Amino acid sequence: MLNCYHCGNDVVENEVIVFNDKNFCCKGCQTVYDLFESNGLTDYYDFEQNPGAVPKDVASKYNYLDNTDIADKLIDFKEGTTTIVRLYIPHIHCSSCIWILENLHTLNPAITHSQVVFSQKKVSITFNSDNISLKNLVLLLASIGYEPYISLEQFDAQPKLIDRSLLYKIGVAFFGFGNIMLLSFPEYFNVDDLWMQQYRGFFRYINILLALPVFLYSATPYYKSAYHSIKTKAYNIDIPMALGIIVMFVRSLVDIFFQDGAGFLDSMCGLVFFMLSGKLIQQTTYNFLSFERDYKSYFPIAVTKIQNEKESPIQVYEIEKGNQLLIRNEELIPVDAILLSETAFIDYSFVTGEAVPLEKKSGDKIYAGGKQVGNAVIVEAINTVSQSYLTQLWSNDIFQKKVSQKIQTITDKASRIFTPTLLTIALIGFFVWSFTSLNFAFNVLTAVLIVACPCALALTAPYTWGNVIRLMGKRKLYLKNTTVIEQLSKVDTIVFDKTGTLTSNSNQHIQFIGEHLSTNDVMAIKNIVRGSNHPLSRRLYMILPDTPIEKPENYKEAPGKGIEGTFRKDTIKIGSASWVGAADVLDINQTKVYISINDKIKGFYVFENEYRVGLEALFQSLQNKNYQLFVLSGDNDGEQRMLERLMPKSTQLVFNQKPDDKLRFIKKLQENNHNVLMIGDGLNDAGALAQSNIGISISENVNVFTPASDAILDAESFTKLPYFLQFAKNAMKTIKMSYALALTYNTVGLSFALSNNLSPLVAAIIMPVSTATIISFVTIMSNYFARKGEG
């Protein structure tokens, strides 16, 4: 018997297709291999042996995708020729699948990018809709053995957290387990009753009939997984599970048919029941944590809602269909909307990676994830916010940092070597005990295969990370992904931006110094700053008197410098002294925003900065924990003395830093082997946040959404920074303790199993109990460390 080189299926020798000295089961598999080879993608077979599926002929199956109304329901984003779609592909199962699906651009140049989410078996594909349609894209996937599953009926349905077939299998296993135990009471108590003795054989055969559905149906997930594991040489933990079930069933048949005893049918059914119950517990808990993690990913980002000609900030998840929203320069559009303003320039780089703004006209549809560039615009929401979409946007591969995942690597290595080691120990135990008794030998073999399940070991890191993300979210630090926790635990240097980070925007006193400003001047200034999201612009806008809203022309904003626009034929410049061409005065200990109208310096607004409450204690606490502290500011050094009074002497203050200067400063620290945490307001600090090992964007009631950050910290929790850093370190401690607990359980369990002091049924009960113990341990420890040190 031969095996297909592509899919691994058995091939009858006289039906084999030989191509390039390789055997294939059908023309489809040979065609896929030929396609991969002609495009230089044969590395696909290096990751896993026989990873592919047999491609299906689905030429007419997806004709409905030619209907644009149907196709648009599946599409996440479409702008010009750039289209993004997420497809569920059930066949994704190994590293080869990920590799080939993330190299689709090699098969068709119309595909520009593809990214797999392995845990969800989904692939996000960006493609040029002029060169390949959605239907042809789906057909391409089907032709290489990765046919998507598309169900329009379930398009808007909530995901089912529990697999109903798993519940059915558990029900059948429990029915068999309970009834076999009931019919086996005479065996247990060795009842010396004539009637019982006479019909003992009959009851044993009834037990076989009751056990057959459990063996042939309930246990099938373990058989399938073990078969696939052996075929691909992945050697997962389901191999010893399946082997234990088969050994117990076959041994029971031999005992019953040869009148040597009642066998282990009750133990076998109990084993399947408890293992499936453990799987249900794991699946339920994991899905709950995943769902809750999505739910807790609500960012403290807000937008401005316009109602009755008044503007007020609202949280993004409060947006309703029909709401009119004001979108300022550099502000993210959180919902699909219709443009009400005359024109807008939308930057979709967060979605597509392309940074060229697209011009939109009044009435055009604008997709969530676009960023307004230029003057403020008004849009009308046509959907409520999709927070999961914002989460996906935040975690876009374009903005990911290359960070080490040490804990996950340890888990992966352990999983690869655990099963061969376990099988070896089980066979040695069987061989040794076979000299004493075959009954004992089978007991030892089965108990070892069951009790040493590495589920607890493998689940340690995911459950700890999931719980820590949830707990930090409750305390208003919102993390992009689980790797951020590990990186936080390694931080040794913290860099703070000043304006909008150390200072509070809500308690500033503002005074104008200079020439008298006319009503028209104030109106011009207010309408210009209305389009900016800079903290000083927002504060200035709030204190200026209400004026009629008019749209300025030629609006532009230079990060770190200022803003400019034309209002009623007057050219207004607002920003730093160098931006408006003024000579700055350095002896005033305030932040200043200069005003220039038609190139004439009118004066400046003085912002008497109100530093955040608890700032002095925060810096002292961080210094006591031996962190190196830096403050970077785009302002002059006018507030140096004030900052020196608030902060420890070891804190280094650096002024006159433009956005590029901040980025280079971070890079220099990293070159000196520092692990840098950068905290900024997310606007002028995007480059520095992206460059740092961990970037945290601080948010008040209105904030620019920045995928460059790894976390978003609500301003209310700013002084909890030492707590969060310590919590991350304690999370790593929890991981190590739970690893030690899991290894201790396996060691003790193996010692009892090898000494024939542990029955297979007890081992099957202990296995899900150990998993529940690990889940409980990491949950309890995470919650303990969350409460510890919280003030």
Could you read off the pLDDT of 81-126 as tens digits, one per residue?
888 888 888 777 666 677 778 888 888 888 888 888 766 778 888 8
Across residues 637-664, what is the average pLDDT? Answer: 82
Flag whether 558 is in a domain. Answer: yes
Rounded-to-integer distance, Cα 442 and Cα 527, Å: 83
Q: What pLDDT sits at residue 722?
A: 92
Q: What pLDDT sits at residue 209?
A: 93
Q: What pLDDT sits at residue 677?
A: 93
Same domain for 488 and 628: yes
Same domain for 690 and 720: yes
Flag whether 647 is in a domain. Answer: yes
Same domain for 667 and 646: yes
Residue that is written with structure tokens 């009148």 in the block: 259
Residue that is written with structure tokens 């341990």 in the block: 777
From 682, 709, 727, give the residue that closes a domain. Answer: 727
Same domain for 616 and 601: no
**CATH value at residue 41:** 2.30.170
Span 769-789, pLDDT tens digits? 776 787 788 888 888 888 886
Amino acid identity of 402?
Answer: K
Q: What pLDDT sits at residue 173?
A: 92
Same domain for 272 and 188: yes
Contacts (Cβ under 8 Å, ≥6 apart) of 278? 455, 767, 768, 771, 772
**CATH value at residue 565:** 3.40.1110.10
- Give the count of alpha carbons within 13 A of 652, CB side only: 10
Same domain for 269 and 171: yes
**CATH value at residue 311:** 2.70.150.10
Span 152-199, pLDDT tens digits? 544 444 444 456 788 899 999 999 988 988 887 777 666 666 666 677
Q: What pLDDT sits at residue 214?
A: 93
Same domain for 322 and 235: no
Sorting pLDDT into bands at 50, 70 and 90, what band is 742?
Answer: confident
Across residues 204-227, what is the average pLDDT? Answer: 89
Q: Percent of the chain scored above 70 by pLDDT? A: 74
What are the φ and ψ backbone dihedral angles of 183, each rounded to 5 degrees? Answer: -75, -10
From 578, 610, 642, give the residue that closes a domain. Answer: 610
Same domain for 617 and 581: no
DSSP 517: P
Q: Provide the phi-psi class of 346: left if phi over 0, else alpha when psi is between -120 and 50, else beta.
A: beta
Domains contained in the chain, number: 6
Amino acid identity of 547?
Answer: T
Flag whether 722 is in a domain. Answer: yes
Span 494-510, pLDDT tens digits? 999 887 788 776 656 78
From 97, 127, 154, give the residue that closes a domain. Answer: 154
pTM of the model: 0.63
What are the φ and ψ backbone dihedral angles of 96, each rounded to 5 degrees? Answer: -65, -40
- Which domain, by its residues, includes 170? 163-283
Contacts (Cβ under 8 Å, ≥6 apart) of 89? 97, 101, 121, 122, 123, 141, 146, 147, 148, 149
Same domain for 618 and 720: yes
Flag whether 453 is in a domain. Answer: no
Distance of CA 430 to the CA centre of its chain: 44
Q: What pLDDT sits at residue 287?
A: 53
Based on C-alpha coordinates, what's the Rg of the chain? 33
Neighbours of 521 (CB within 10 A): 17
Give the lowest-confidence range in 203-217, 224-238, 351-365, 529-543.
224-238
Flag whether 663 is in a domain. Answer: yes
Same domain for 120 and 240: no
Which of 120, 79, 123, 70 lies closest to 98, judged by CA? 123
Q: Is 348 helix (H, G, I), strand (E, B) or coil?
A: coil
Sorting pLDDT into bands at 50, 70 and 90, what band is 445?
Answer: confident
Residue predicted with more confidence, 20 or 578 = 578
Mean pLDDT of the chain: 77
Flag whether 455 is in a domain. Answer: no
**CATH value at residue 670:** 3.40.50.1000
Flag whether 767 is in a domain. Answer: no
Q: Which of 342-346, 353-357, 706-710 has the highest mean pLDDT?
A: 342-346
pLDDT at 295 over 50: no
Q: Which of 66-70, 378-382, 604-608 has the highest mean pLDDT?
A: 378-382
Same domain for 601 and 629: no
Same domain for 231 and 106: no
List the beta bridge partners of residue 347: 371
Rounded-to-integer distance, Cα 771 and Cα 752, Å: 18
Flag whether 666 is in a domain. Answer: yes
Q: What pLDDT sits at residue 406?
A: 43
Give the lowest-confidence range in 8-17, 37-46, 312-321, 392-401.
392-401
Residue predicted with more confidence, 627 or 29 = 627
Span 584-621, pLDDT tens digits? 655 455 678 899 988 888 888 887 767 888 888 889 99
pLDDT at 410 over 80: no
